Amino acid sequence: YNSTFHVWQFANGSMIEFGYLDSDESVQIYQSAEYDVIRIDESVHMSEFRIRYMKSRIRGVNNFPKQLKLTTNPGALSHKFHKQYFKIGVNPPGVPFNEYIGTDENGNELWESRCFIPARIYDNPFLMKANPGYIKNLMQLPERERKALLDGSWDIFDDQAFPEFDYA
């Protein structure tokens, strides 16, 4: 690991680069970058623009599968974008779906495959065993944050007219 350049280099030449985007303008530092895989942790804290821009850096001529993986909790800046992008509440969780995104210059249809895979604190047996008191901490949060972080609810919005609405 090279802490100056935030890069982990492997013997076979593969690299993992660690980075951070603190604003929409900061995407320019990645303008000429080329990645096979981009993984963004807590992606709802990034704007839709930053996510889509970084997705445009996934390219290359090798045969390695090109992927964007987002991990996050509900709530925050791009909550609505994530809910729409992954069709949360519309498409069944864990079921991949294809979405038409346009046509190329030759008239070929372009499709993108996506999948929302939910996970809650109870799905992490290691954390549950090592720190069972964490649940109590989450239960003490205000209702909106508790629904997001403990229940994994995507049915919360900052500007929601009827926050008490429940599909059940």
Q: In this predicted model, what pLDDT tens digit does every residue of 82-120 receive, in sequence order? A: 999 999 999 999 999 999 999 999 999 999 999 999 999
One DSSP character per residue, 84-148 reads HHTTBTTBPTT--EEEEEEE-TTS-EEEEEE------GGG-HHHHHH-TTHHHHHHTS-HHHHHH
91 half-sphere exposure, CB direction, 13 A CA radius: 20
- Mean pLDDT computed over 139-164: 83
Residue 130 has pLDDT above 80, yes or no: yes
Question: Helices then strands (H, E): number in the chain?
Answer: 5, 6
Q: Which residues contact 89 (CB under 8 A, 6 or more apart)?
A: 83, 154, 155
Give the pLDDT mean for 119-142: 95
**Average confidence (pLDDT) over 125-146:** 94
Give the count of alpha carbons within 13 A of 31, CB side only.
5
- Does the structure show a pLDDT above 80 at 145? yes
> Does position 140 have pLDDT exceeding 90, yes or no?
yes
